Structure 1
Amino acid sequence: MKHIVLFALGIFVFSCGKKEETSLPIVGPITESVYASGVLKTADQYQAYVTVNGIISQLLVKEGDSVQVGTPLVAITNETQRFAAENANIAANFNDFSANSGKLDEAKLVIESAKNKFRVDSSLYYRQKNLWDQQIGTKVDFELKELAFQTSKSNYLAAIQRYKELKRSLEFSSAQSKKSLQISRNQAQDFILRSKTNGIVYSLLKTIGEIVSPQTPIAVIGNYQDFVLELQVDENDILRVQNGQKVILTLDSYKNQSFEAKVTKISEIMNERSKTFVVEAKFTKAPPKLFPNITFEANILLSKKENAVLIPRNYLKQDSIVTLASGEERVVKVGLKDFQKAEILSGLKATEEIVKPK
């Protein structure tokens, strides 16, 4: 019985020693912000891809090299494409219009021969016709001359038509072969990967001899003089973010230092997988040296008030209810909030003590 009394007394003493945490409102500054994490990128930074399948035969730049728009980066080889190019060149030479002028000359000779034959048969026909009109000669002679005349005329016209068709066919084949050769040469350009921006080669992702495809990134290129902060903002906060807002950020590479930036661009579409929007910002106060793909954490400043009535944010229940020291629960109107403090616009006096929720 004595032990039970001592145990109960211990519980009572312990309970009395655990005092509730209380607080009074204070007046001070508060800044409301939106948290975002992100990655530092250079302006115009992109991964370079080839548009064809092949094998890397040459690396034409090194990591750290400066490049301009159009600078060759990598050479790709593809035996099938090389054979196709050679075949296109052979076909273009074979079908070249000037190389086939002999066929047209031969067709012209056929026309000339048919024309002369037609002229002779025409003359014989009309002579025989005049004689027949005078009842001289036989009908058989007249019909034979008429048949020869009609045949010569048809052969002459057919020779002219064959010449036209031959010329048209040769012109078509020549133009088609030249176009195929042009396409082949243009495709050959695809086997040289070129820079699309002025900047620096930050990384070469492949080496000589590796097989690449249009789905394979080859290099990372960007503008080393201009950096962009790419922030990921939650969909619940994006409506409060606007261009021109101040950003305070810390870089993992610069411990215990903060830097300033300004929002410059807000994405119009949400990433469905991460449920975030991309927000871009540019430094207004940048560190002396930067590298692409550095990670950072940032706060986008939404609004600021110097003399606000503040309470600890963790003293709020359901973001709108406080508990007075008397035990009364009261609904308050909340204004700005940060991670630690909340502004009270109405519902609580500066002299009223509140209790931290359990």
Structure 2
Amino acid sequence: MKNSCLIILAFVGTLVSCKKSANTNTSPQYKSLTEAVYASGNIYPKNEYKLTANADGFLIKQTAFEGDAVGKNQLLFQLESASQEARLEASSNILRQSEANFSDNSPILDELEAQLRNARTKLANDSINFKRYKELYDRNATTRIEYERAELAYQTSKNDVSARRKAWLRTKNQLYVDLQNSKSNFKVNAREEDNYRIKSFEAGKLYEIYKKQGELVRRGEAVALVGDANEVYAQLAIDESDFVKVQIGQTVLVKIDVYKDKIFKAKVTKLYPKLNKADQTFRVDAEFVEEKPNAYYGMTIEANIVVSENPRVLTIPKNYLVGSDSVWIEENGDKKKIKITKGVENLDMVEVKAGLTEKSVLMLGN
């Protein structure tokens, strides 16, 4: 990746070429030298997320399409499940019946209340009858058997009223519990029904839809891709040998194929410490600082990350290097190979820290 001839530092004052110099001999010159790290990558929207299904079902309705702007919590897809619809309908019917059973006009409670009223009426009559027989018995005007029969009828009626009142309270409490359980069950099924409605989390643009209407969608399966169309960033891949030079805040010059010769400025915002073993690169994210490209998902880009800028350094063309640290020079008419101390470099030029002067005459190697 870093050996590519494509570099865009010409736009900041350093013209780079992959061609050799026409002259075979040259001398070192003081120039401004910018060192940059080459990177390639893609443009992605910020806050990107995938919409996934929370239940199994067939995609029966779609309210938005690729390229559409969507709002927050907007319904985008509707799934259908016959079993879930049946459960929801059953829980709804049970809830309506429970509400009727616990209402003021509840037929169950009305029947128990009528029985309780009849028992209280009988108790009142038996109480009067018992008092009358007690007075007669106290005056020896009736037999003990008649008195005890009246007393037994009174106690039986009294116990019957108590039992029917407890039955009414017990039934009312049970109907209340049944109502609460029915409400809970309906809410659970209603929430489960929401799992069949796929909504957006945040506002953005619908970039891709993975399913077609009529297709079966499994729980956890991705249905669509959404991202922020107003905010994009560059996701770059840096060769592992150059990664140590990159720091947060460094300037990034970005070239996008669809924009031809236009250069966008960005800055490094995040470094990822994990090496991608497949291509031996590290990931670096950069945000645009001035004009931003349109939010076309995955646009291919190439970039240079400016790691140092040197206004005046002694430089030589890179093609005069022999190996990594030697050059051929002309000395007293002879060709001599010497070692130099290099500084920063780009694809075209190399800084010479020691070993040469402006008067040195460089020769191309054989």
User: Residue 279 in 1 paired to residue 285 in 2?
Assistant: yes
Q: Which amino acid aligns with 2:235?
A: E
Taking only aligned residues, the RMSD between alpha carbons, in angstroms, comes to 4.3
* One-letter code aligned to 1:181: F
The answer for unaligned runs of 5 or more in structure 2 is 1-23, 330-335
Secondary structure in 1 matching 2:258 = coil
Going from structure 1 to structure 2, the CA distance change for 1:148 and 1:218 (only over 3 Å counts) comes to same
Q: Which amino acid aligns with 1:298?
A: A
On the 8 A contact 2:67/2:205 being kept in 1, the answer is yes
**Residues 317 and 357 of structure 1 are in contact (CA less than 8 Å); yes or no, is this contact kept in structure 2?**
no
CA distance in 2, matches of 1:64, 1:186: 30
Deviates more, 1:73-82 or 1:110-119: 110-119
Q: Secondary structure at the match of 2:72?
A: coil
Query: How many residues matched?
Result: 330
Tell me the residue number matched to 2:355.
348
Q: Which residue identity does 1:58 align to in structure 2?
A: K
Alpha-carbon distance, 1:120 to partner: 6.1
Quote how far apart the aligned CAs of 1:308 are. Answer: 1.7
Partner of 1:49: 52
Deviation at 1:248, TM superposition (A): 0.9
Equivalent residue, structure 2, for 1:11: none
Deviations 1:155-212 (A, max 9, x none): 4444333322222221222222223323333333333333344444333332221111
Return closer, same or farther for 1:353/1:264 CA change in 2, 3 Å cut-off.
Answer: closer
Say whether 1:188 aligns with 2:193: yes
Q: Residue 37 of structure 2 corresponds to which residue in structure 1?
A: 34
The reply on whether 1:206 has 2:217 as its aligned counterpart is no
Say if 1:322 and 1:354, in contact at 8 Å, map to a contact too: no
Query: Does the CA contact (< 8 Å) of 1:233 and 1:279 recur in 2?
Result: no
1:1-358 matches, within 5 Å, as: 25-96=28-99, 97-98=102-103, 101-116=106-121, 154-233=159-238, 237=243, 240-243=246-249, 245-255=250-260, 257-263=261-267, 265-266=269-270, 270=274, 276-282=282-288, 284-286=290-292, 291-311=296-316, 315=321, 322=326, 332=341, 335-345=343-353, 347-350=354-357
CA distance in 2, matches of 1:144, 1:356: 137
Alpha-carbon spacing, 1:158–1:342, altered in 2? closer, same or farther (3 Å)? farther
Structure 1 105/63 Cα, relative in aligned 2: closer, same or farther at 3 Å?
Answer: same
Deviates most, 347-356 or 136-145: 136-145
**In 1, distance between residues paired with 2:244 and 2:219?**
35
What CA deviation, in whole Å up to 9, does each residue of 1:263-311 have, x standing for no partner? Answer: 2631666476666334132252456x66221111112222211112335
Query: Normalised by the size of structure 1, how large is the TM-score?
Result: 0.71
List per-residue Cα deviations over 1:45-79 (Å, max 9, x = no partner): 44333322211223323434343334433322211
Kindly state the Cα deviation for residue 247 of structure 1 after the two structures are TM-superposed.
1.1
Q: TM-score, normalised by structure 2?
A: 0.69
Contact conserved, 2:252 with 2:268, CA < 8 A, in 1? no
In the TM superposition, residue 251 of structure 1 has moved relative to its aligned partner by 1.8
- Asked if the contact 1:56–1:210 (Cα under 8 Å) also holds between the matched residues in 2, the reply is yes
Distance 1:247-1:305 versus aligned 2 partners, 3 A rule:
same
Which deviates more from structure 2 when the two are superposed, residues 114-123 or residues 97-106?
A: 114-123
Query: Would the alpha carbon gap of residues 247 and 133 (structure 1) be closer, same or farther in structure 2, given more than 3 Å must change?
Result: farther
Identity, % of aligned pairs?
23
Amino acid of the structure 1 residue aligned with 2:270: I
